[in-house]
Structure 1
Amino acid sequence: MSTLTSQANARPARFGASGPLRGRVRVPGDKSISHRSLILSALAVGESRVEGLLEGEDVLATAAALRAMGAGITRGADHAWHIRGVGVGGLLQPRSALDMGNSGTSARLLMGLVASHSITCAFTGDLSLSTRPMERVILPLSLMGAEFTASPGGRLPLMIRGLCPAVPIDYRLPVASAQVKSAILLAGLNTPGITRVIEPVATRDHSERMLRGFGADLTVEETGGERIIAIRGEAELTPQHIVVPGDPSSAAFPIVAALLVPGSDIIVENVGLNPTRAGLIEILRAMGGDITLIDPREVGGEPVADIRVRSSALNGIDVPLEIAPAMIDEFPILFVAAALARGRTVTRGLEELRLKESDRISTMAEGLRAIGARIEETADGLIVEGTGGERLAGGATVATRLDHRIAMSFAVAGLVTEADVTIDDMAPVDTSFPGFVDVMRMLGVDA
């Protein structure tokens, strides 16, 4: 890979064919757990310690917002983070707008947090985040009593005026969304009575696990195929020592790279394997991927393992509709794997991908076609005709639309193309996987 001339703040880069990947690496801490560990630590009374926190731009946006509302958050010389909480209900009025950068998780979770406090906050974000829908959070939080003044279409920038005491609600999620669920549960922490969220389709459950770990009175029941999560408000949270496992969404990139590059044999250490996040591993194995879990264990209530990956001949499959919530962020890199598989891979039910940092369905379709893949775009997914292991043509510049997962997906694709693939901007990668290029170098990629 050679870095090209930069324009403005963009960091174009070029990735080319690679020899076998070998070695052991670790990926940054889980982004979802990192956000939640900061937020709940900020609501505990006393000091929490967090090790392995993802120090990407998204998580740092959450930390900055919590500092602005009174929490003490510092990074120690040992790289551990120390958070002095203000207690549930103790958030202070920030002096200026809370800048969420590119982080939809920060925006939606913190809106839930503010909704049941007697403070008023302005939320802003970058150009990409300002195009993403917030109405799915605004609606339930408004039912709890928060007042919103939003930009057209329910987008950022917006103003929220919290209500204390807020009104407990029973809310059935119309769309499978861990962020919406978490926002309601966070609002419910400072709301008298019991707030319930009904999930017709299960989503990642980091919030439930961590809320219980901090001492919240939270229950989960399954009735008629639905999950009912209930939280009793006016809680008192207890400080914790949290060790954040490696992010499975980040581990997906070296995992797929090792599957696709002939002769590869790698181990990705300490990866979180929460059942609500492990869908990609299941699908890659179903495609014929040689993936072994080493030393499965539990750390801080989350399942963790080292993952050994050896290059494999993959076969296209029809991806089950119900697995989408357990791997929604991993579909871009799955599309790359499918492009090199034998036969057809069909995905559906992925409308949510059109509402991410970019329209990930159209952006991936456009980029994959540009480097020689055979792609059919549908309203809710992609149909990919694989090459059967033959390299793609490459030789194109791919537009990432300021989307970190698009950038990393095509960086991996460049390792299995005839001609180099140029990524128009690698800068967005810093939001979730700072050090991505360094990790790939450790595995032998010429970067």
Structure 2
Amino acid sequence: MSGHGEAIAMVARSGAALRGVAEVPGDKSISHRALILGALSVGETRVSGLLEGQDVLDTARAMRAFGAEVVRQGPGAWSVRGVGVGGFAEPADVIDCGNSGTGVRLIMGCMATSPITATFTGDASLRKRPMGRVTAPLALFGAEAHGRRGGRLPMTLVGAADPVPVRYTTPVPSAQVKSAVLLAGLNAPGETVVIEREPTRDHTERMLRGFGAQLEIEDLPEGRLIRLRGQPELRAQSVAVPRDPSSAAFPVCAALIVPKSDILVPGVSQNPTRNGLFTTLVEMGADISFETPREEGGEPVADLRVRFSNLRGIEVPPGRAASMIDEYPVLAVVAACAEGRTVMRGVRELRVKESDRIDAMARGLEACGVRVEEDEDTLIVHGLGAGGVPGGATCATHIDHRIAMSFLVLGLASKLPIRVDDGSPIATSFPAFEALMAGLGADIARVQR
């Protein structure tokens, strides 16, 4: 599937129980960072388990444009021969980041303190997303951004010729903003400091340390303080990418709501800044066991055994939002199949993702017969219990891979089939989704024109 081509309507129907092993792809966040830090290092970085979704492929193409040698050596196996911190060349053409907000924001960060200019664009969805939250702190280093009204792509970023270190407090919980500032700080002299009031996913910090950066973390009353010493020589590494918890969310949630299901999802990241969904599901009564815990590629992982469960609605603590922000759409699906009301607060960040995910899920669930309440920062789903969702609707995906997969998962447990208007964006993060779900016994098909 292509997230940039013709729309692909898809439909999901209830049927057999889901059984088997779900080998979900590599973590998207870590895949982006492995390519970027490999490009900023000296020597050859080897990456195994890389997610080969369109988002990550766009980042690989961007690293080539900035002068790194990026080569695919086999399925999930890539090598990156880097140019070192401050070694980026000026790209000859526009950098197209496709659908990836993570890719464009991190790449802006790592070029913002080099004396080069680059123009960035993306697909229709990415061009609607705000970049000001990143370009504002990058301006403190001395970079200049020139984009469309509202700080939107296409945008030209002029890197700082004489960057200065920055002390920055993130105004909203955002791993993308934090990471962009830290990556910019690599080529600034002295010490760059980031303070985040609420901890967000820490893959960038873990990987920076792994590549040899001097980075210190301290928990203070005002938040989590991260100090980075600028202008290091990063050393090439071997990076084993763990499996993506955001992708694992879809087969995991499908197994919980399809009767008699029993699946194994091996090697899923259990990074504490990413596992909020699994904590929430267990609180709802999910039968999930975390088997063979271990460490891979500097990240904690475990094998997840997941069985169908009779679930109950809960209040999800707003402080958990940062650790599961990408999983709220599929959690809303699970909530629709639970008994009682599930309340999700502190989720305003969902309104500026690939789509307004609060609105997209609310409208789609209502079309499928589920009562929903929402405000700017809240989504409340009134569950109908196992097998209680009527379904029978066509849901708009708004060029958003997670909306598409979420409603297809719901279709596996609803009374009537559920159709999505466009499944093509799924390729941006989970190109094997159709085949993997079919292997478990799911009835998901493309609608023939």
TM-score bin, normalised by smaller chain:
over 0.9
Partner of 2:267: 270
Choose 73-82 or 105-114, whichever is displaced more.
73-82
Shift of 1:391: 2.9
In the aligned structure 2, how far is the partner of 1:213 from the partner of 1:174? 27
Alignment equivalent of 2:328, drawn from 298, 322, 331: 331
User: Aligned pair in 2 of structure 1 residues 85, 435: CA closer, same or farther (>3 Å)?
Assistant: same
Counterparts of 1:147-162 in structure 2 under 5 Å? 147-162=144-159
SS in 2 for 1:26: coil
Q: In the alignment, is residue 103 of structure 1 matched against residue 91 of structure 2?
A: no
Of 195, 202, 205, the residue aligned with 1:205 is 202
Shift of 1:225: 5.3
CA distance in 1, matches of 2:407, 2:140: 42
| Distance in 2, Cα, partners of 1:24 & 1:392 | 27
Report the residue type matching 2:320 in the other structure.
I
Q: Note if contact 1:316-1:344 (Cα within 8 Å) is conserved in structure 2.
A: yes
- Contiguous gaps of at least 5 residues in structure 1: none
Once the two structures are superposed, residues 267-310 of structure 1 have per-residue CA deviations (whole angstroms, 9 ceiling, x without a partner) of 00111110000000000000000000010000121001110001
Match of 1:252 among 249, 254, 267: 249
> Aligned partner of 2:89: which letter?
L
For 2:128 and 2:227, locate their aligned partners in 1 and report how far apart those are by CA, in whole Å.
32
Does residue 413 of structure 1 match 2:395?
Answer: no
Specify the alignment match of 1:18 in structure 2.
15
Picking from 420, 426, 430, the partner of 1:423 is 420
Contact conserved, 2:245 with 2:270, CA < 8 A, in 1?
yes
Q: Is the counterpart of residue 372 in structure 1 residue 355 in structure 2? A: no
1:216 is matched with 213
User: Match of 1:76, SS?
Assistant: strand
Where do 5+ consecutive residues of structure 2 fail to align? 445-449
Q: Residues 63-82 of structure 1 correspond to what in structure 2 (within 5 A)?
A: 63-77=60-74, 79-82=76-79
Q: State the shift of 1:82 in Å.
A: 0.6
Match of 1:118 in 2: 115
Return the match for 1:45 from 35, 42, 47.
42
TM-score w.r.t. length of structure 2: 0.97
Q: Partners in 2 of 1:225 and 1:68 — Cα distance?
A: 39
CA contact (8 A) 1:429 1:436 kept: yes
Of residues 67, 72, 80, the one that matches 1:83 is 80
Compute the displacement of 1:18 (Å).
2.3
Change (3 A) 1:359 1:79: closer
Partner of 2:137: 140
Structure 1 length-normalised TM:
0.97
Aligned counterparts of 2:15 and 2:403: Cα–Cα separation in 1 = 19
Q: Where has structure 1 moved over 6 Å in runs of 4 or more?
A: none
Q: % of aligned pairs identical?
A: 57
Distance 1:78 1:389 in 2: 38
AA aligned opposite 1:396: A
Deviation at 1:55, TM superposition (A): 0.4
Equivalent pairs, count: 442
Q: Which amino acid aligns with 1:34?
A: S
Name the structure 1 match of 2:447. Answer: none
Checking the alignment, whether the CA contact within 8 Å between 2:70 and 2:80 is kept in structure 1 is yes
Higher relative CO (CA 8 A, sep ≥ 6), structure 1 or 2?
2
Output the amino acid matched with 1:330.
E
**Counterpart check, 1:352 vs 2:349:** yes
| CA distance, structure 2, for counterparts of residue 58 and residue 206 of structure 1 | 17
SS of the equivalent of 1:45 reads coil
For structure 1, which segment, 13-22 or 324-333, has the greater mean C-alpha deviation from structure 2 after superposition? 13-22
